[in-house]
Amino acid sequence: MARARAGRSDDRAAWLSIGALSRATGVAIETLRTWESRYGFPVPERKPSGHRVYPLSAVPRLRRIAQALTFGHRAGQVVAASDAALGQLLATAPAPVATAPPPGQEVAAGVEGLLELVAHFEAERLRQALVVNWARLGPVEFLESSVAPLVRAVGEAWARGELEIRHEHFLSARVGDLLGSLRLPLEERASGPLVVYATLPGERHGLGLQMSALVLAAVGCRGLYLGTDVPVPQLAPLVRDLGARAVAISISRATRGQASATPLRRLREALPRRVLVVVGGEGAPTAKPGTLCVTSLRELDAWGRKLAFGPPPA
């Protein structure tokens, strides 16, 4: 009897809740769920109570996947890879001395550490630090706790004269490249409604738009990213012809007010009512007839989930 009870105890110990799995691997719960639905790993079992649990044996593989992501490999490439292929990817990773911080130091992941990397134009270490955060956080948390605060910190440091315009350009280029590389594999596998992303004439700040595109790609929306400063007479016909469900517009503080109000109104008038116009950014209006104004990436994430998986939102 004692052996039988011990055996049942061992069986229970071999399974983890998704929260425990997240803590054991450093991979965010939201990321684990995304990998499970998109790539078929990790594979859960259901207890008689209906709760989902994950085998303890998944922990080493998930840790290796997270490690591969820090070397710049994409989730779509590594999560579904065989153990042999994953081992080969890790074996061919660049030598630590070429890209890693000094021995005994972790890659800087906090905003202050990231800002220091920007100040010294540490391009590869900045990329690695952001990828570490992406691997450990869900998309929204990654953007809200790493990317957005870093962009603000660099802008504030520039305003104080501590950094120069070349630092802002460096950050925009590096973060833009990273966000695009994270978004494209998600869009390739997406099967939800099509969303077109653009900024209106005169708006040349594109990082907010890229962050929005990454959030919606992560929940399964297909996307067409047009970039900044797109004329309304070219944007509206394309949205109609493609049968897009929504067009997402980002407005920064630089173009808020009347500078954005007129083209936004013209865009809404040029589109059929079935096409949703979603507006966000620090310069976005709080309310506009016929448009949805989102105030945060978390709000955009919730709206995107309804768009992708639920009935068409109003």
Q: How many CA atoms, within 13 angstroms, populate the side-chain half-sphere of residue 169?
A: 3
Q: Single out the residue in 185, 213, 245 at which a domain terminates.
A: 185
Question: Do residues 288 and 210 both lie within one domain?
Answer: yes
Query: Could you tell me if 305 and 194 lie in one domain?
Result: yes
Shared-domain flag, residues 233 and 180: no
Report if residue 55 sits inside a domain. no
- pLDDT at residue 194, as a whole number: 95
| Structural domain boundaries, residue 211 | 190-309
Do 247 and 289 lie in one domain? The reply is: yes
d(CA 304, CA 285): 20
Same domain for 178 and 215, yes or no, is no
Cis preceding-peptide flag for 311 (omega within 30 of 0): no
Beta bridge partners of 248: 197, 278
pLDDT of residue 64: 83
| Cα–Cα–Cα angle for 102, 137, 313, rounded to 5 degrees | 155
Domain boundary among 164, 185, 206: 185
pLDDT at 193: 93
d(CA 189, CA 209): 20
205 & 221 share domain: yes
- 200 and 241: one domain? yes
Nearest 5 degrees, angle CA 219-CA 222-CA 228? Answer: 105
d(CA 280, CA 292): 9
Domain count, the chain: 2
Evaluate whether residue 50 is within a structural domain. no
Are 286 and 294 within 8 A, CB to CB?
no
Averages of pLDDT over runs of 10 residues in the chain (314 residues) are 38 71 77 87 86 86 80 80 83 48 50 93 91 86 94 94 94 92 85 93 92 93 92 94 95 78 92 94 82 93 85 49
- The reported pLDDT for the residue numbered 130 is 92
